[in-house]
Structures are given as structure tokens and as C-alpha cells.
Structure 1
């Protein structure tokens, strides 16, 4: 594979959608109105391309990540390629490593186990794309799929049991000594025991973005902008309501702080009592959570910037890539590492200077397949005070307008009208 230390992005032709209302490679999570049966979130609708939207995993001196060109890559700390393993679909899930084995799912419906030399040990087929990281517990592997199932696998790759839900699943999974916790697009958070039996479920008003552990509780977010802290019996301790929709696979919990991005183009930080600590404004959406290292938060944004922000919310620096950045960064030997929708994997020093970048096998960024999505709808909660300022939250374009890195981004407006009861047009979500 090619790698270089220049500041130029991947060369590719501009992509325009003409009359379509999908923004190029944006994973926008747009929502419009009443859920229809078999609705497919956009996180499951990427086309093949050179983009990288999943995070990287560092093990030893090797960096592992998946790409939309169907490959799982292993690269060295200097940006040279060690090996690649080809699947039959985009790979956007986090890679997990345990006992010198690499575990990751693909759009091709398979969950893969590789050795660290890139050789296939085994694979397990589900009935849908796999976009979330597996949970590797001491006794078993837990995997979720677009087919709506939680799978429990042995470390030999055999199915031990499965638990069905009524919607696609793209959230993280958490397991403790007695139970497994996860969210579904059927608008529920589930707690399942280690034999696959339901212990409880928490109903939300919208699909679940993520459910992450904190001490004896779960921090849960849903697409309606709500963040809940739940006890492990499913009872609600508190609820925080943001100004707009929260994205899939958010929030993140780091230490005693909750971080998440919203459609209102802010990164939020909450304390563990649900109080707002600060909001950091960006020029587009923050889709994934940050990396915290030496009291600095590093996170990407769909405005094409990698931000370095103090824990107080003060900007230190930002680095401009040639496309939107979805993945949570990682680090190795003083380098900040992240993939980008512009088909490059970047390494920066801690001052924000480019050390090197690695190109995937394709130069054309990924697009979203409109045939894989279905219009949905919901009713937004009534705003406490209706005003044009409040309405602007919903009318704001969901992604960049104009050209970024040679690719044309066409913004999607939410289509809400200036009425106290919102109406909707066709929109997509993920």
C-alpha cells in the first residue's frame, strides 16, 4: 500500500448526488416521522469505497483497522503495510484483540477471527451486517447484527445461543459477571443473563444509540436527544435532554465524564449527575466519542477536522483532513491515529503536525446506498419555548455544504416546518 508524509489528501473525482437528498459519505443519522417495519439505519447502508469510518486498534507496534474497501489492514508504526485480509463487504466495526486473535465483523454478515499474521482462524455467519464491536468476556464472545440478534459464541466460533430483538442492532455490548447489556433499534435497552434469557428491558421513545457501563449503572442515549442513567435493574436515575439528535454508538464515558455529539454540531460533556459541564461548537456533527490522553481530548468531526481540546472544553489545535472524520482516534508512540472518509489513515504528532498517512486500496470515497434505507417518522417533543431560534436546530443542514477535499457534500435539511407540531418530509436516519 502507498503511504506518504505530504499534506495532500487522496485524489478522487468530486461526487455529486444531483437531485438526491443523501449527503456523500456522511453517516448522518437523519430521522424523519412513524417507524415503519423493516427500517434500515444508514449505518448499515454504506457502499464500497476507500473510506475509513471505524476506529483503529493498536496492539504492540501494529495498527489494525477496517475500511470500506472490504479489507482489514495491519500497518506498522511508520505507516507501511504489514498485511491485509479481504472480506466481502465494508468493515466499519471496531477490531478487538484477545490472546493473539483478532475479532471483527463485516458488512458481508460474517464475524471473523484472524491470527495476528492475518490468517483466518474461523468465521461465523449471521443474517445481517455487523457494524458494532464484539464483547470479549472470559467465557464467551458476544456479537450483535443487523438481523436483530445478540449471538453468544465460543472462542472456537460455535454458536452457544442467540437472543432476538425486533430491530437492527449496531450498539456496543457490555457484559459483567451475570448479564449482558445492549441497545436495539426497536427502542429498547436489554439486559440478558448469561444463558440468553431476558432479565429486563428499558423502553425508550426512539432507537437506542448506545448503552455503556459506569460503576453500578448504564449510561444510555437515544435518537431523541435523551441521555439516561439507568440502574442495573433498569430503573432511571436521571435524564438529560440535548438540543438535537444523538448519534449511533454514542455516548462515550471516560473517567467520570460523559461525552457525546449531536446534530446541533456540538460536543457535549456531562457529569455523572446529568449536569452539563460544557459544549464545544464545531462546524458539523461529531459522530463518535473522543480519545483522552494526558488531559487532552482528541475527536474527529464531519467538518473534516481532528480537534485537540482540553478537558475544560478549550481548543488547543485542530488538523484539517480532506473529508469527514467519524472514527474515534487511537494513539501509538506519541502519534494520534485516525481514519478518514477521504480514503486515508492519518498519523499526527501531539502538536497536530502530520507524520504520515496511509492510502487504502480505493481512491473513491464511499457513498450511502439509498436503496438500503427506508423513510421513517417520529414526533419531536414540544419545545418549551417555540421560537425561530429553536426551530433553527431542526432546520440546520446535517452536514457540510460546499466542497471539502475535492468531494461535494450536499446538505440535508430536516424538512421541519415552522409550526408548533412538526411535520416531516422524506429523510433517512442511522
Structure 2
């Protein structure tokens, strides 16, 4: 009964003083269960599937709908949504087959009908780069640190990489070696400006590296025979040390140095691979599949090229819809389209932080995540709506710590109500619940009894004193700081104490502090009440002081 579903339970384990440590906003979830904040329904006449999302520097969410591949069907929109889900503007572009790319200045770049369009943050078209007779390859544009835009242009029997200035003029055009009779991918950029991408030409698959001016730096061809009809080249990914990682249709994943030489290769025997993603230790995660995406397998490979684990014969996945790493977890779709959460060791997590349901994409953003699928976009918050970043329980990390330890849950409407006075029943529920496993407390509901009765039964058994044991009306009243001191001090020490003795015990053992700089009974304010935030701080203090088990009072 570790996660007893009592709405009355306080949401998380908090703190009472503002410490100096500040947690990054994306390090951990702040609630144990994500809360839907808003949902936006796209209206359209044909296959209005939302593409992968992009985010502006001001938090604007950009989503392009797939639309019709035929120019005879006039649909396909680019939507700009405020962080609260309200539409800022929409722009009719025809079918958007690529994810928008956002420049440093907020300019949105997206392809439509084979042309590249640059759109201002207020929804106005700044310029259009014409793709010509054969159009641009429908791949996401790449934008460099100097705002150079890179797209792939079809040239009859071959393709070229085109570099554009921020105002849409051609800087240069290059056709990498082996790019004839095939196609190339848009590049990823190294820290030194080198452009890396994949080539499929005349049945030959390779990796290209171009200098910032478009001249060839090097090319790499894999070890084994490649598939004749499929490109089989994933978009390369660059590690922190500049190493390039890529999967190819010869059935290998390669690590390449900046000189284009193979550092290692790992054989997956798959002809299609997704772009690798990395954890903080440098381990790779990517999906490989046979022709047509059959039998997709998620692989985890060490930075040295050794297999850590795979989902082969263990778990059926649909990884070509995307593999996401976030907060020490892996998110991927199962065969039924539902999100699966894995630990970094490859085990299915019991804690499904994302809601169940068939979805088209999972994107973590700010303090939550967005689910996009078919014609719907939904945002779920991983934090309480009434705790801003400036609140002391956020700044000292208590709210994050509380959610991570899963002591309790918040209100159904997404609020924590940190300044609300905590009742006696609420506090003792939190306190006992936090030691449920360590002490082996039995908290099963009692037929016909109040929801809090199992917790008061523990108090009786442990001989801990609170007013509500003898006066039932006290259970629903705000609990005084003095009563909290008695309960906590007796449970930690195992000794019966008066209120004054209990307050001094907490102060001397630094399990609590007064409301002024002076640590005294008066500064502790025994007759005062506790807020929900302060209530949890007691629990955090006790837990972090190394109190492994609570004690029964000596008779």
C-alpha cells in the first residue's frame, strides 16, 4: 500500500526553510502523476496529422499538420500556440512534411510544396526559397550558429546540399561524392562547423563530411554490403567529444573520429536505424529494423561499442516513431502505439510517467510534456500549478525531493496549496505514510471506519500522543506546531515528552528551526499552525537526518 490513493494526502514531502540549492526545471518530476493542463484539437479535411513539434525562444509551440501529399487538396497549416495552448496564429502553407526549425532570432523555417519558407514569429512569410522543377527534399532544414540554413535540393538524378543566407540567398551548393542517382540527408553540425550527413547513391551508402564552405572534408563507406534499395543510413549524431555515431544498411553502427576513421563498429544485422541518442554516461540508444521496419529492436551500446542490452525477444517496440531520453528514463512506443517507459538498464518501469493511450509523438518541454497524435495536441504538467520557481519549496529542492520519493499525491486539480494549514489527520497520515515500508505499518482501510482510522491505530500501537486520539474533533482542525513537535520527538526518540521538551529536542537535534534566527521555544511558536509546506519539511528533516525507523514510546 505504498501509494495509497487518498486525495487528502499532501502532494509531496517539502521543507520549512529556504536552502540555497536550486534544482534545474527538467531534472525530475514534481508530481508523481502528470496532470493534463490543456488540449488543442486540429480541425481539417484531410489527414491533419500533427508533425513533430518545435519551440520558439519565447516558449511558443509550433506544430505543422501533415496535410495532403497531392497539390489538388488545399490543406496543411502551421500553428503557433502559446504555452497555455491558446492559438497565437495559424498560417496556411499546404502540406507541411517537415518539422519546423527555429532560428536564433525566432524565425521559423519549414518546407511546403517543395519550397522553403521563412516565417517571422508573428506569422508573416519573410521569404521563400524556390525548390525548382524537382523541389527540395522533404527533410527538416538545418540552421547553423551563424543562421546559415541548409536544405537538400533535388537535381533530376542527384541531389545537392544548399547553404542559404538568413535572407534566403544561396551561399553555395555542393554535391557530395557518391550522391548521384540517389539522395542525401540534411546535415548535423559539429562544433567546428563541419557538416555531417548520409548519402545513398547508386546502391552505395556512405557518410559525408563537408567544410563550412561546402568543400569535401572526407567521406566514409561502411564495412559490409549495403541494401540495394534502402538508404539504411540514420541521421548521424555527435557525442560530447565530437565522435560521430551512425547506423548504416550494412548492418553496423559506427563510431567515427573527426578524421572520418572508424573508431569501432557494432553489428546489429539491421538495415535501418534511427539516429542515436545518448545518456549522461555516453551510452547510445537507437532502434534497428529489417526492411520495412519489421521486428524493430532497441539497442543500448556503450561508448566503447559494446552491447549493454537490447529488447530482442523481450519487448516489441515501434521505435521509428521516436526514442526519447528524459530524466534517466527511456520513452518509446510499443506495438500497440502506447508509451513504454524503460529504465536505462532496459527494464520496463512500473511508474508510467506518461499517460496511456495511442500517440504520435512525445516531447518533453518546460515542466511537462506534449503528446501529439492524429489531430490532437495535449500538454501534461509534471509540476504543481500553484508553486512558482520563486517559492522556497521549489528553490531549496523540497518539492522535487518530495515528488521523487512519492510520499503523497496532490489535489486532482493540479494544485499543492503550500500555504494552506495542515490538519492533524493530514499530518499524521503523511508522517506515518513516509515510514510505512521502513516500520512495516499496516495501513489497510478498515470497513465502516473513517479513512484516517488506520493511521490513528498506528499512533495507539506506538504510544505516540496527539490530541485527536481522545478528541475526535481535533482530527479535522489545524495541527499546532507544538503538537507536531510532540509527535515527531516521541517517534524519533522513543520517549514520552512534554511540549516544551519536544520542542527543545527538535531544535537541539536540528530537526526543526524557529521562525526567527534564535533557536528557542518562543521562536518555534508552539501555538502556531503549520502550512502544508512546513508540515512536509519536518518529514524531510527527519528522513535526511538518517532516521531509518520510528520508535515505540517506552512504557
TM-score when scaled to structure 2? 0.50
Look up the match of 2:288. 262
Aligned residues of 2:39 and 2:85 also touching (Cα < 8 A): no
Q: Cα gap change, 1:8/1:76 in structure 2, threshold over 3 Å: closer, same or farther?
A: closer
Look up the match of 1:307. 340
Higher alpha-carbon Rg: 2
Aligned residues of 2:54 and 2:99 also touching (Cα < 8 A): no
Q: Cα gap change, 1:116/1:330 in structure 2, threshold over 3 Å: closer, same or farther?
A: same
Look up the match of 2:212. 194
Look up the match of 1:24. none
Look up the match of 2:48. 50
| Stretch moving more, 135-144 or 256-265 | 135-144
Q: Cα gap change, 1:202/1:333 in structure 2, threshold over 3 Å: closer, same or farther?
A: closer
The answer to whether 1:287 aligns with 2:320 is yes
Q: Cα gap change, 1:105/1:301 in structure 2, threshold over 3 Å: closer, same or farther?
A: farther
Cα deviation 1:399-422 (Å, max 9, x = unaligned)? xxxxxxxxxxxxxxxxxxxxxxxx
Deviation at 1:289, TM superposition (A): 4.2
Aligned partner of residue 287 in structure 1, secondary structure: helix
Aligned residues of 1:226 and 1:239 also touching (Cα < 8 A): yes
Aligned residues of 2:211 and 2:217 also touching (Cα < 8 A): yes
Deviation at 1:129, TM superposition (A): 3.3
Aligned partner of residue 260 in structure 2, secondary structure: coil
Q: Cα gap change, 1:59/1:92 in structure 2, threshold over 3 Å: closer, same or farther?
A: same
Deviation at 1:150, TM superposition (A): 1.0
Cα deviation 1:316-370 (Å, max 9, x = unaligned)? 32644345x3x4x322342211322x2222323449xx99xxxxxxxxxxxxxxx
Aligned residues of 1:287 and 1:302 also touching (Cα < 8 A): no
Deviation at 1:98, TM superposition (A): 1.4
What are the residue-to-residue correspondences of 1:218-229 with 2, within 5 Å? 218-229=244-255
Cα deviation 1:189-247 (Å, max 9, x = unaligned)? 11112221112111233522221212232101123432100112211111112253334
Q: Cα gap change, 1:6/1:63 in structure 2, threshold over 3 Å: closer, same or farther?
A: closer
Higher helix share: 2
Look up the match of 1:102. 108
Counterparts of 1:11 and 1:305, CA distance in 2: 24
RCO comparison, higher one (Cα < 8 Å, 6+): 1
Higher strand share: 1
Which residue among 361, 366, 370 is the counterpart of 1:337?
370
TM-score when scaled to structure 1? 0.64
Look up the match of 2:199. 184
Look up the match of 1:321. 357
Counterparts of 1:196 and 1:322, CA distance in 2: 42
Counterparts of 1:338 and 1:236, CA distance in 2: 38
Q: Cα gap change, 1:79/1:122 in structure 2, threshold over 3 Å: closer, same or farther?
A: same
Look up the match of 2:117. 112
Look up the match of 1:386. none
Deviation at 1:64, TM superposition (A): 1.3
Which residue among 68, 77, 94 is the counterpart of 1:71?
77
Cα deviation 1:250-281 (Å, max 9, x = unaligned)? 22334412121222333222111111222245
Gapped regions of structure 2 (runs ≥ 5): 1-35, 68-75, 290-294, 384-411, 414-555
